[in-house]
Amino acid sequence: MFEQLCIIGVGLIGGSIARAAKAQGLCKQVVAYGGDKHLPNLQRALALGVIDGFHTDIGAALNGSDCVIVATPVGTLPAIFSAMQPFWNSQTIYSDVGSTKASVVEAARSVFGDVPSNFVPAHPIAGAERSGVEASTADLFNDRRLIITPLDDTDTAAVEKLSEFWRRIGSRVALMSVEHHDTVLAATSHLPHILAFALVAMLGRKDEQHEIFKYAAGGFKDFSRIASSDPTMWRDICLANKDELIPLLQQFQAELGQIERRLQNGDAQALFDTFSYARQARQRFLDTFDDHS
Amino acid sequence: MFEQLCIIGVGLIGGSIARAAKAQGLCKQVVAYGGDKHLPNLQRALALGVIDGFHTDIGAALNGSDCVIVATPVGTLPAIFSAMQPFWNSQTIYSDVGSTKASVVEAARSVFGDVPSNFVPAHPIAGAERSGVEASTADLFNDRRLIITPLDDTDTAAVEKLSEFWRRIGSRVALMSVEHHDTVLAATSHLPHILAFALVAMLGRKDEQHEIFKYAAGGFKDFSRIASSDPTMWRDICLANKDELIPLLQQFQAELGQIERRLQNGDAQALFDTFSYARQARQRFLDTFDDHS
């Protein structure tokens, strides 16, 4: 499918793309780029067989690559695009894996003027609380969703080829607008991560913290799992999508304030109605998406 | 261990206690009590072999029972205690499974004056988003924690015998004060349930709700699982423990307000610090309690 796949940033996601592409025979070789400070990580990726080679010079890594996927935290994208610009090749397909798309498009626009038509913004909805190349697996994207957010000018053939690439490593590909993606992901992913981080941080400061964690029931353990996610990545995501997140955070605080008043007033019926509505909403969607989506 | 175990309320928890006691041979027979409106449920429990018999007359159910466990939602405890009072037997051990202990003790005190010394307040930290006797299993309490909150007057022999009962159905038994229990559980269980209910209810009202649930990633799915918990049970728990919950809800809103301001101000370092602190707190406790607790 590709001669040489170049992965910029070989962490959990980048490493898993490399492993999956090799496992499915989608490219002849995988090279990686990382800055000097990432040298130990690149060496580890090579030793693990995740990649076939690496460069700490971005021009060398891009040279001969007909598909380039940027898999670094979204906060680094402006600098990465700037470094890539001198080597930009109209025959190559470029993509990314950022969890926020408006910020990625904005970064591309700030560097290139117009977003290049051979840059295809993408986001695999997969991850884990672990991070780093050691956590990467060839099946991370299996049966997971991959969202592509093409712009008006994005090359259709590039979108189709990248879609096929992701499908062949197991993903279920969908297309939507940048704005819609960021609205939906703020609700379904970014806000829940903030809630988990905030709850675990708050409880971790309490005198009873030892017993709080000791007696944590199943629900809280599930809930708090995502608080182990990479703090750098999530700092970048939250800042990049803050225009969507801030109103949601305000709405959620209002929601909690309402529940607080219902508790104060002993308004049993209203509490029951809210809990019941939530249970029904979840059941409705479990029924609709009963396909391990 | 017991001649006749009486379960008041044969749902997920009561049914699982009955199944486990029978499986471990801890009693000769299990009888159940439920009001007339629960007749179909009692018949189902009998047909499933969860119980050996049932009564819709509480006196008949209590007669000959040397261990009685109340497993109805905590909001029903005042009425249940009143109904039990005429048949109270000093030779019997009474207990409950309520998720809030101050409210249970208060209900007992309001009916009996002093809390009877042969009533042992208890709380198994086990459950599932499913409910009802059909969901009950003999191993629900296996390797789960069971907290007993004895009062100063509670009979020591009764506490020891009930502890032994729970240990023999797989639980890891701990003793703590009523107040401490309610503080810890508000943080670790009740607040997370409110957050899950509130989040799913809020997102379920949005125009994008269909896609929000469709593209829900692993974290949100785990997070929202507990929003399928029984609304009646959780309404009662939240109201019963509102004195602990209201301050926690206020603290959590303040925590979210702080994160919101940090997003507004683009304060990347402070966001990183919070997320990082949470991740480390969770890791600390995973290391400490790496025993599937």
Q: What is the mean pLDDT of each run of 10 residues along chain A (293 residues)?
A: 98 97 98 96 97 98 98 95 98 96 96 97 85 93 95 98 98 96 92 94 87 75 83 93 96 97 97 95 79 43
- Using pLDDT thresholds of 50, 70 and 90, give the confidence band for residue B290: low
Contact B29, B45 (CB under 8 A): no
CA B221 to chain centroid: 22
SS3 of B130, please?
Answer: coil
A251 CB within 8 Å of a chain B CB: yes
In a domain, A208, yes or no: yes
> In this structure, are A140 and A194 located in the same domain?
no
* Residue B201 near chain A (CB below 8 Å): yes
CATH of the domain at B255: 1.10.3660.10
Q: Going by C-beta distance under 8 Å and a sequence separation of 6 or more, which residues neighbour residue A205?
A: none
Q: Which residues of B touch A247 (CB under 8 A)?
A: none
Residue A231: per-residue pLDDT? 93
Residues A256 and A195: beta-carbon distance below 8 Å: no
Give yes or no: residues B194 and B218 share one domain: yes
Residue B69 shares a structural domain with residue B214 = no
Q: Given CA atoms A40, A42, A47, A50 in this order, what sign does their dihedral have? A: positive
**Cβ count near A141 (within 10 Å):** 22
B150 in Cβ contact with B117 (< 8 Å): no
Instruction: Examine the domain organization and report whether A245 and A109 are in the same domain.
Output: no
- Determine how β-strand B122-125 pairs with β-strand B119-120: unpaired
Inter-chain residue contact B278 with A227, CB threshold 8 Å: yes
Q: Is the pLDDT of residue B289 over 90?
A: no
pLDDT of residue B293: 39
pLDDT at A128: 66
Asked if B215 and A128 come within 8 Å (Cβ–Cβ), the reply is no
* Domain membership flag for residue B293: no
With 0-12 / 13-18 / 19 or more C-beta atoms within 10 angstroms meaning exposed / middle / buried, residue B137 is middle
Contact flag B275-A209 (C-beta cutoff 8 Å) = no
CB distance from A45 to chain B under 8 Å? no
In the prediction, which pLDDT does A55 show? 98
Query: Global pTM?
Result: 0.85
- Asked whether residue B292 carries a pLDDT value surpassing 60, the answer given is no
In a domain, B67, yes or no: yes
Show the tokens assigned to A79.
């600098």
% of chain B beyond a pLDDT of 90: 83
Question: Count of domains in chain A?
Answer: 2
B117 domain residue, yes or no: yes
Say yes or no: B45 and B170 in one domain. Answer: yes
Residues B49-63 have pLDDT tens digits of 999 999 999 999 999
Lookup: tokens for B69:
């466990």
Q: How many pairs of residues across A and B have Cβ atoms under 8 Å apart?
A: 298
Q: Do B285 and A213 touch (CB under 8 A)?
A: yes
Please give, rounded to a whole number of angstroms, the shortest distance from the CA of B252 to a CA of chain A: 7
d(CA B114, nearest CA chain A) in Å: 26
- pLDDT for res A266: 97
Decide if A164 is inside a domain: yes
Residue B254: name the closest of A38, A263, A201, A223 by CA.
A201
Choose one of A176, A196, A217: the last residue of a domain. Answer: A176
> With helix as H, strand as E and coil as C, how does chain A read?
CEEEEEEECCCHHHHHHHHHHHHCCCEEEEEEECCHHHHHHHHHHHHCCCCCEEECCHHHHHCCCCEEEECCCHHHHHHHHHHHHHHCCCCCEEEECCCCCHHHHHHHHHHHCCCCCCEECEEEECCCCCCCHHHCCCCCCCCCEEEECCCCCCCHHHHHHHHHHHHHCCCEEEECCHHHHHHHHHHHHHHHHHHHHHHHHHHHCCCCHHHHHHCCCHHHHHHHHHHHCCHHHHHHHHHHCHHHHHHHHHHHHHHHHHHHHHHHHCCHHHHHHHHHHHHHHHHHHHHHCCCCC
**ipTM of model over 0.90:** no
Judge if A61 and A111 occupy the same domain: yes
Q: Residues B117, B196: one domain?
A: no
User: Looking at A146, A176, A206, which one is the last position of a domain?
Assistant: A176
- Assigned domain for A212 exists: yes
Q: What band does B270 get if pLDDT is binned at 50, 70 and 90?
A: very high
Say whether both B112 and B140 belong to one domain: yes
Residues B186-207 have a mean pLDDT of: 92
> Could you tell me if B143 and B233 lie in one domain?
no
pLDDT value at position B43? 97
pLDDT band at B226 (very low <50, low <70, confident <90, very high): confident
B-contacting residues in A 57-76 (Cβ below 8 Å): 75
**Adjacent-strand bridge partners of B123:** B147
The length of chain A is 293
Give the pLDDT of residue A292: 43
Indicate whether A163 and A200 sit together in one domain.
no
Q: Checking DSSP bridges between strand A145-148 and strand A122-125, what pairing results, if any?
A: antiparallel
Tell whether B265 is within 8 A of chain A (Cβ): no
Do B142 and B200 share a domain, yes or no? no
CA distance A152 to chain B (A): 22
Q: Look up the domain containing A111 and give its range.
A: 2-176
| One domain for residues B155 and B196 | no
**Last residue of a domain, which of A132, A161, A176?**
A176
Domain presence at residue A249 = yes
In three-state secondary structure terms, B96 is strand
- How far is Cα of residue A156 from the mean position of the Cα atoms in its chain? 23
CATH of the domain at A106: 3.40.50.720
A270 Cβ under 8 Å from any chain B Cβ:
no
Does residue A293 sit within a domain?
no
Residue pair B188/A203 in contact (Cβ under 8 Å)? The answer is: yes
The SS3 of residue B148 is: strand
